[in-house]
Amino acid sequence: MNHPENLSQQGRHLLNRRHFLGTAGLSTAGLALAGLLQADGLLAKEPLTAGGKTPIRPDIDPGNPYASRKAHFEVPAQQVLVIYCPGAVSHVDTFDYKPELFKYDEQKPPGIPAVTFEGPTGNIAKPFWKFKPRGETGKMVSGLLPHLAEQVDDFCFFHALTTETSAHPQGENFMNTGFTMEGFPSFGAWVTYALGTENQELPAFVAINDPRGLARSGKNNFGNGFLPAAFQGTDFTAKNPPNNLHRPASLSPRADRRTADLLERLNAQHLEQYPGDADLAGRIASYELAGRMQTSVPDVMDLSGETQATLEAYGVEGGSELRGHYARNCLLARRLLEKGVRVVQLFNGSDPSGGNGITNWDSHSDIAKTHAMQAEIMDQPTAALIADLKQRGMLDHTLVVWATEFGRMPFLQANGTGRDHNPDAFTCFLTGAGVKRGFSYGESDEFGFKSVADKTTVYDFNATLLHLMGLDHERLTYYHNGLERRLTNVHGHVVHDVLEKHAS
Amino acid sequence: MIKKRINYGAILLGGFLLSSVSAAEKVDFEQEIAPILEEGCQFCHGEDAQESGFRLDGLAYLLKGGDSGFAAVVPGKPEQSYLLDAIRHADEAIAMPPYEDKLPQEQIDLIARWIAEGAIWPGQSVTIDSENSDHWSFQPVVRPEVPSSDKTRENPIDRFLAKKLAKEGLSFSPPADPRSLLRRVSIILTGLPPTSEELERFLKAYNQDAGAAYLAAIDRLLASPHFGERWAQHWLDVIRWAETNGSESNMYRKNAWIYRDYVVRAFNEDKPYDQFLFEQIAGDTVGQGDATGYLVAGPHVPVATVGREPSAQRQARADRMDEVLQTIGASALGLTISCARCHNHKFDPISIQDYYSMSAVFQDVEFGSRYPELAEDHPRSVRERELSQEIAGIHQQLKQWGPWQENWTGYRELHFPKTETRKIRISFEWKAVRLDEIEMFGPAEPERNFALASEGTQTVSPPEMTNYRAKLKEVNDGKYGTMAWVAKSLPGSKEKPWIEFSFPEPREIQRIRMSTNREDFLETDYLLGINNFNFGDYRVEVETLQGEWKQIAATKNFNLKNKTHPLRGKLQKELKGLIEEVGEAGVQPSFVGNFIAPVQTYVFGRGSPENPREEVFPKGLSELEGDLQLSSDAPGPQRRVAFAKWLIREEHPLTARVAANRLWHHVFGQGIVTTTSDFGAAGTEPTHPELLDWLAAELVGPTFEASRNEAQPWSMKHLIRLMVMSKAFRQSSSPTQRGLDKDADSALLWRFPPKRVEAEVIRDAILQAAGGLDRSLGGRSFRIHNVKKRYSQWEVVDNHGPETWRRMLYQERMRRVDDQMFTAFDFPDCGQVRAKRPISTTPLQALNLMNSPFVIEQANLIAERAKEFGGDKAQAVDQCFYRLLGRFPTDGERQAALELANEFDLSLVCRALINSNEFAFLP
């Protein structure tokens, strides 16, 4: 992967922009544009990231692409857990309390558009669950998520998030890859590319998909895009190991080992013809790593050592079958983080299958029922996971991100019982390493319809996440097809207000 | 270097303007305007800082504007001056100075007046001239002189390379051994290593005359149909071609693969590269309609899933146009033209106006399907004619038993003896029916649909049965899809739905075509619950010209008729088979784009369709004389033809260079320009500029005699032949310390650079070694996925069974779907242009190649084949090595392999060999 353009481009680019800026015809003052441009530095040699910063490309050893690498600057967060809720969680029914919705319930005040994503709009609907103050901060949270509500003193909310699309797959792409379009590397891939991982015996980046399957954007959410495949998320759950992890049932352990021995011999002999070849050595090393994973992955998936108290806290038993599966996935997430896995992305929702059963947070009809069903799965296990991380001291070095692709409308769909997509205001929260606790950033308007104060774009959000991981979102780049690509394209500002003092 | 100057039109300021405005009314720049600019703007946009590439401390800068691509000030034209948009805060995104720093209204008015009065900046007047880029790739290709050599017949490629090597104190390595050489050239040219038989033949010939043997091998490989398969794969990567949409529901694109077959055929026929490009852009005009699959190769969001907001729909259309331009830019031009979508390109001479002018070229292109225009001698046209004749023959015979019905998957077609009538009534046997369209045809003009409302035909049906949201008019509006007529019997009523058509005058009718949702038939395949017919059996009656009603067909009797007339049944079965074959091999709706009426095109400020600015006309790049002399009235095909001709002009500095470099990249593993799709200032410079230009010139006009046959202009095979015949290609890949020290990447080619082969090569080589590789060319892709529901994800169900034993090129290319095997080997997700694949090494690759059912099964097969060869176990081991690595084991290897085979099974030896570095690396 060490092609010249991936190593260094600095200083070799003449920034010869604006070809039509040639020399000017002159009057008395004689303004020669070219001269002006030289004077102002536009023609000087410059690095190529938008924003004018020098790219920092991780120094990746092809023999060990997962070696732990230094962040751009020192931060408490060493690992990151992303809990992703596909389908769009209704902010006005969960964390973004809007008393005006009660006042205008069943009315259509001016300013409500005639048509939104799915079609004509109906009247304002008050939240479907009661809000009350929680914790010492008194943050208003609805009864839909009673377990998470208990921990609001630890959370840092973004209430004025905005996105650029009202469609789920593009929205998922945007949140998770920084672009609405197909084919860009996921956040997890960027972090893995930048930082490698601490534990070489487990994948650097694990995507734990919903028990029902992949989310609407499928593999995009945890894919490597145009980054080398080494940085894609490895897809497994508490129930299903990664593909082809285990030796085939037809082979005995000894037969497997002896095959590996022969392979080692063949490769060693071959390497003699190419002494010091890093690519060949790297491939040999990858087989050793794969061998170790065959033990380390089943170990980490084995929940039998978890105490009864833990299982109960996570809600493994006693709820819906889906909650049980999701709770096990939450346990797996904690175990992976304990082992030093750099990025864990945990999904709570999949792609709608058109059946009667709900598959994610999308609630165009009967939101009271469908959001409740989805919350039953998500709330207790997620809350237990965060509490568990805290109790084990892991939040000191783990950033936790709870995210969804957009919000839902404060009004119902025409003649309906559900809320349509809202790209202009939605809520996500962070907790853990480097994050201010018990804090809310940004405000949506009195209905939760549009963001009004401290608007935060998805670019800003992702820039902040990278910052919390010690990465400058403007300098973490990869050359692809003519551009120094970034997670944040050419946008994004770190929201310093949400950073814990000593971390900013 | 040739520099041209285009005078963009002098902006004359001064005397005559002054004379037209009385001095008393005029805004005083020094007193009134300069202070505003200094205080309000120049901190961020002045001498020290130029945010957004913009400054306001000189008139020239104002006339030029910043990164947006728009003039900040157009003297005399405040409405066209971007500066005013900014300071008026007309648009939040460009509001300047920001927030509460907004200028007071009287200052804004003052600036507006100053612009209206001619934007006079005392002491400064400017004409803006244009100077062409001096970037190397925009300069004309001039065939350089080949460095001299003492050998007259020496390949020019080697002479260029040797010169540079000598400069670095390096030289070529010794020739590769013949086994490695044949393996290398076979994989490079066809994607397959040599078979055992090919290898043996080659070694024998090589011993007698090495040079002749190698030439013969090249001839054989270039003539192999597998050559086209290999090189098509490279091209499809660049344009991220796939058979699904990506995005929501990631739907399958019906018959998109006919484009893949076009590309394979083009490479195999050595279609001249200029023609290859032309046909992909405007193939519909020359009977190569399948070639336009190129234009719609990228992903897209189907209209149905964009949502109902008009702005979202406009954005989605703009995104689709951008995908088209990305394809052109990355594959043909070698430029990242998409960078100019929101503002002028930061590094290259591509203005935002250029971008939208180029998008005007493709305004008639939409992502979707059509019946491709194919020349009479196109294999599909030929097959369709043959099948039509056979079908007509069966029709003739069937007639004797009266009417019959055919199922064309998307629609049913009822055939009956022609009848002249004013009215036709269709009465359904089902109580609920759904039809998106009913069509009626006669013998005279077989494709004229007399049922259309636009033909003056009226329809009537029992109104109480028709759903208010599924109106009767849908049934003959000429539009297919979900907007359909739905009728239901009233509860308890015995009356069933019927419909009557009244023609304005008597019509001769002999066929009726009916469908429930033909859109799916046209656009997609492999989806659960599509192509259903929700109307069941029915009767057809006509009113004779004498005014009597008579029944001419009742479909429920048809099966009975087959029993009483077995020959009818037999013929219908044959007919069914023929119709199915038409669907497969004939001219069918295919996802190669559909054409719509072009609309006027505007520059979208900051890339937003909600911010249209000046109109633009279809053009190529203005930097490269891209004016096509077209207006906004030009029909779509004319635009594309003109653009394609501009692109393939011999003197186009990019087209041939980009093509030659891409071929080089795929032969030597690294381009002369390593950024193969970016020849702009952000790309890399050529390692061998003269060689690149020589190759480009040689592509356009071959001069070097490389084979017995004279090469045609733009022949890609000619150039590839030259490359693989070079000493550089034929040298060993072994490293030398000196070489590594000076040139670790082997960019100067002191050795042939080894590298891991692609996913396709690994898979195909395993299948070939096992003897199970199905070598048939082209056709529908094999699939490893389920047939999915509309809203769900594809799931791999079988990626290893015998029906998948074709070359991987034919594995359905699904966007962002993990095939659970080769995605780990950097097989692209087809979301973004992939001018070259990264090569990564991961433990998941190891797990897939050690444990997947595919490898285990194939290892067993290879072992079986080796045993079949006869001899003892040691000979069987030898066979396994030979089949997979093209060599026999060393004594030590044989001993180790035998031990494994003896203790367990020979297949484990194959499993180890498949995983070996030697198998996975190009020697």
The domain locations on chain A are: 79-238+305-503, 248-302
Task: Tell me what pLDDT residue A417 has.
Answer: 92
For residue A131, give both structure tokens: 């809000």
- Region A464-483 average pLDDT: 93
A 308-327 residues with CB below 8 A of B?
none
- Region A388-393 average pLDDT: 97
Min CA distance, A141 vs chain B (Å)?
A: 31
pLDDT tens across B361-411, in order?
A: 999 999 999 999 999 999 899 999 999 999 999 999 999 999 999 999 899
Q: Which of A270-284, B278-292, B784-798 has the highest mean pLDDT?
A: B278-292
CA–CA distance, B859 with A320 (Å, rounded to integer): 44
CA–CA distance, B777 with B224 (Å, rounded to integer): 11
Task: Tell me what pLDDT residue B69 has.
Answer: 81
Are A166 and B307 an interchain contact pair (Cβ–Cβ within 8 Å)? Answer: yes
Which residues in chain B are contacts of A12 at CB distance < 8 A? Answer: 685
Could you tell me if B639 and B681 lie in one domain? no
Could you tell me if B624 and B715 lie in one domain? no
Residue B442 binned pLDDT confidence (cut-offs 50, 70, 90): very high
Asked whether residue B347 carries a pLDDT value surpassing 90, the answer given is no
Taking chain B, what is the end-to-end CA distance rounded to the nearest angstrom? Answer: 41
Which residues in chain A are contacts of B916 at CB distance < 8 A? Answer: 263, 266-267, 270
Are B916 and A267 an interchain contact pair (Cβ–Cβ within 8 Å)? Answer: yes
Asked whether residue A200 carries a pLDDT value surpassing 90, the answer given is no
pLDDT tens across B551-580, in order?
A: 999 999 998 888 899 999 999 999 999 999
Could you tell me if B110 and B161 lie in one domain? no
DSSP string, B381-438: HHHHHHHHHHHHHHHHHHGGG--EEEE-SS-EEEEEEEEEEEEEEEEESSSEEEESEE
Residue A52 binned pLDDT confidence (cut-offs 50, 70, 90): low
pLDDT tens across B205-253, in order?
A: 999 999 999 999 999 999 999 999 999 999 999 999 999 999 878 999 9
Report the topology of domain A79-238+305-503.
Alkaline Phosphatase, subunit A (3.40.720)
CB A72 within 8 A of CB A208: no
Asked whether residue B16 carries a pLDDT value surpassing 50, the answer given is no
Could you tell me if B435 and B560 lie in one domain? yes
- Region A448-452 average pLDDT: 96
B482 domain-assigned: yes
A459 vs B302 pLDDT, higher one: A459
Our CA angle for A310, A315, A321, nearest 5°, is 135
CA–CA distance, A21 with B65 (Å, rounded to integer): 10
For residue A238, give both structure tokens: 């508490």
Q: At what angle do helices B873-885 and B196-208 cross, to 10 degrees?
A: 80
Helix (H) or strand (E) holding A115: strand A115-116
Could you tell me if B193 and B223 lie in one domain? yes
Task: Tell me what pLDDT residue B2 has.
Answer: 37
B625 domain-assigned: yes
pLDDT tens across A86-101, in order?
A: 999 999 999 999 999 9
For residue A172, give both structure tokens: 């998922």
End-of-domain residue from the set B501, B531, B566: B566
Asked whether residue B3 carries a pLDDT value surpassing 80, the answer given is no
A 55-84 residues with CB below 8 A of B?
62-63, 65
Are B50 and A40 an interchain contact pair (Cβ–Cβ within 8 Å)? Answer: yes
Cβ partners under 8 Å of residue B546, min gap 6:
none
Task: Tell me what pLDDT residue A2 has.
Answer: 36
In 3D space, the residue among B534, B425, B548 whose CA is nearest the CA of residue B486 turns out to be B534
B804 domain-assigned: no
- Sole residue written with tokens 């002494």: A275
End-of-domain residue from the set B724, B754, B784: B754
Asked whether residue A476 carries a pLDDT value surpassing 80, the answer given is yes
Task: Supply the DSSP symbol for B888.
Answer: P
Could you tell me if B406 and B507 lie in one domain? yes
In 3D space, the residue among B140, B138, B70 whose CA is nearest the CA of residue B681 turns out to be B138
B183 domain-assigned: yes
- Contacts for B633-638: CB closer than 8 Å, 24+ residues apart: B634/B598, B635/B364, B635/B598, B636/B363, B636/B364, B636/B365, B636/B595, B636/B596, B636/B597, B636/B598, B637/B282, B637/B284, B637/B285, B637/B364, B637/B595
pLDDT tens across B32-87, in order?
A: 888 888 888 888 888 888 888 888 888 888 888 888 888 888 888 888 888 888 88
- Sole residue written with tokens 């002749």: B212
- Region B618-623 average pLDDT: 95
For residue A282, give both structure tokens: 């790297």
Task: Supply the DSSP symbol for A250.
Answer: T
Q: Give the residue numbers spanning the domain of B185.
A: 156-231+664-754
Task: Tell me what pLDDT residue B471 has.
Answer: 87
Asked whether residue B358 carries a pLDDT value surpassing 90, the answer given is yes
- Coil, helix or strand at residue A105: coil
- Region A380-389 average pLDDT: 98
Check CB contact of A242 with chain B, cutoff 8 Å. yes
For residue B668, give both structure tokens: 């030597």
Residue A64 binned pLDDT confidence (cut-offs 50, 70, 90): confident
Say which amino acid occupies B360.
Answer: A
Q: What is the mean pLDDT of chain A?
A: 87
pLDDT tens across A136-188, in order?
A: 999 999 999 999 999 999 999 999 999 999 989 899 999 999 999 888 999 99
Which residues in chain B are contacts of A255 at CB distance < 8 A? Answer: 903-905, 908
Neighbours of B446 (CB within 10 A): 9
Asked whether residue B883 carries a pLDDT value surpassing 70, the answer given is yes
- Region A196-219 average pLDDT: 92
Task: Tell me what pLDDT residue B9 has.
Answer: 33
Asked whether residue A354 carries a pLDDT value surpassing 70, the answer given is no
- Contacts for B888-896: CB closer than 8 Å, 24+ residues apart: B890/A269, B892/A265, B892/A269, B893/A265, B893/A266, B893/A269, B896/A261, B896/A262, B896/A265
Residue A22 binned pLDDT confidence (cut-offs 50, 70, 90): very low
ipTM above 0.95?
Answer: no
Q: Lowest mean pLDDT of A59-68, A154-163, B193-202, B537-546, name the range.
A: A59-68
CA–CA distance, B543 with B550 (Å, rounded to integer): 6
Asked whether residue B644 carries a pLDDT value surpassing 80, the answer given is yes
Torsion angle defined by CA atoms of residues B751, B752, B755 and B759, in that order, rounded to the nearest 10 degrees: 180
In 3D space, the residue among B229, B382, B208 whose CA is nearest the CA of residue B764 turns out to be B229
In 3D space, the residue among A98, A94, A143 whose CA is nearest the CA of residue A363 turns out to be A94
Q: How many domains does chain B have?
A: 5
Cβ partners under 8 Å of residue B830, min gap 6:
A182, A183, B240, B241, B242, B246, B299, B813, B814, B815, B816
Could you tell me if B689 and B636 lie in one domain? no
Asked whether residue B706 carries a pLDDT value surpassing 90, the answer given is no
CA–CA distance, A350 with A353 (Å, rounded to integer): 9
Alpha carbon A141 to its chain centroid, in Å, reads 24
CA–CA distance, A409 with A422 (Å, rounded to integer): 5
Check CB contact of A243 with chain B, cutoff 8 Å. yes
Task: Tell me what pLDDT residue B17 has.
Answer: 40
Are B674 and A5 an interchain contact pair (Cβ–Cβ within 8 Å)? Answer: yes
- Coil, helix or strand at residue B459: strand
CA–CA distance, B427 with B433 (Å, rounded to integer): 11
Are B756 and A279 an interchain contact pair (Cβ–Cβ within 8 Å)? Answer: yes
In 3D space, the residue among A195, A183, A265 whose CA is nearest the CA of residue A225 turns out to be A183
Mark residue A117 as left, alpha or beta (left: phi above 0; alpha: psi -120 to 50; beta: remaining): alpha
CA atoms within 13 A on the CB side of B806: 16
Asked whether residue A273 carries a pLDDT value surpassing 60, the answer given is yes
Q: Lowest mean pLDDT of A486-500, B92-106, B740-754, name the range.
A: B92-106
Could you tell me if B402 and B541 lie in one domain? yes
CA–CA distance, B258 with B275 (Å, rounded to integer): 18
Asked whether residue B877 carries a pLDDT value surpassing 60, the answer given is yes
Percent share of chain B, pLDDT over 70: 96
CB B523 within 8 A of CB B442: no
End-of-domain residue from the set B737, B754, B771: B754
- Region B661-674 average pLDDT: 96
CA atoms within 13 A on the CB side of B29: 13
Asked whether residue A58 carries a pLDDT value surpassing 50, the answer given is yes
Predicted TM-score (pTM) of the model is 0.87
Cβ partners under 8 Å of residue A225, min gap 6:
A177, A183, A184, A185, A186, A189, B829, B831, B832
Which residues in chain A are contacts of B740 at CB distance < 8 A? Answer: 276
Q: Lowest mean pLDDT of A53-57, A487-491, B803-807, name the range.
A: A53-57
Which residues in chain B are contacts of A244 at CB distance < 8 A? Answer: 820-821, 844, 847-848, 850-852
- Region A7-22 average pLDDT: 27
B193 domain-assigned: yes
Strand partners, B420: B508
Task: Tell me what pLDDT residue B483 has.
Answer: 85
Min CA distance, A327 vs chain B (Å)?
A: 23
- Region A215-222 average pLDDT: 90
Q: What is the mean pLDDT of chain B?
A: 91
Are A19 and B347 an interchain contact pair (Cβ–Cβ within 8 Å)? Answer: no
Residue A50 binned pLDDT confidence (cut-offs 50, 70, 90): low
Min CA distance, B306 vs chain A (Å)?
A: 6
Task: Tell me what pLDDT residue B101 has.
Answer: 85
Task: Tell me what pLDDT residue A196 has.
Answer: 95
Task: Tell me what pLDDT residue B23 has.
Answer: 47
In 3D space, the residue among B687, B665, B242, B835 whose CA is nearest the CA of residue A481 turns out to be B835
Asked whether residue A355 carries a pLDDT value surpassing 60, the answer given is no
Asked whether residue A349 carries a pLDDT value surpassing 80, the answer given is yes
Task: Tell me what pLDDT residue A36 has.
Answer: 33
- Region A192-215 average pLDDT: 93
- Region B734-742 average pLDDT: 90
Are B129 and A50 an interchain contact pair (Cβ–Cβ within 8 Å)? Answer: no
Could you tell me if B355 and B288 lie in one domain? yes
DSSP string, B314-328: HHHHHHHHHHHHHHH
CB A348 within 8 A of CB A85: yes
Percent share of chain A, pLDDT over 90: 73
Cβ partners under 8 Å of residue A70, min gap 6:
none
B350 domain-assigned: yes
Task: Tell me what pLDDT residue A48 has.
Answer: 53
CA–CA distance, A137 with B239 (Å, rounded to integer): 54
Cβ partners under 8 Å of residue B744, min gap 6:
none
A 337-356 residues with CB below 8 A of B?
350-354
Are B47 and A27 an interchain contact pair (Cβ–Cβ within 8 Å)? Answer: no
Could you tell me if B540 and B396 lie in one domain? yes
Could you tell me if B425 and B513 lie in one domain? yes
In 3D space, the residue among A91, A27, A35 whose CA is nearest the CA of residue A440 turns out to be A91
- Region B119-140 average pLDDT: 80
Say which amino acid occupies B302.
Answer: P
Q: Lowest mean pLDDT of B43-57, B196-210, B771-785, name the range.
A: B43-57
Asked whether residue A38 carries a pLDDT value surpassing 80, the answer given is no
Which residues in chain A are contacts of B824 at CB distance < 8 A? Answer: 229, 232
CA–CA distance, B698 with B690 (Å, rounded to integer): 12
Q: A80 φ, ψ to 5°?
A: -140, 140
Question: Length of chain A, please?
Answer: 504
CB B518 within 8 A of CB B434: no
Asked whether residue B548 carries a pLDDT value surpassing 50, the answer given is yes
pLDDT tens across A234-244, in order?
A: 999 999 999 99
Could you tell me if B410 and B535 lie in one domain? yes
Taking chain A, what is the end-to-end CA distance rounded to the nearest angstrom? Answer: 34
In 3D space, the residue among A165, A180, A176, A242 whose CA is nearest the CA of residue A215 turns out to be A176
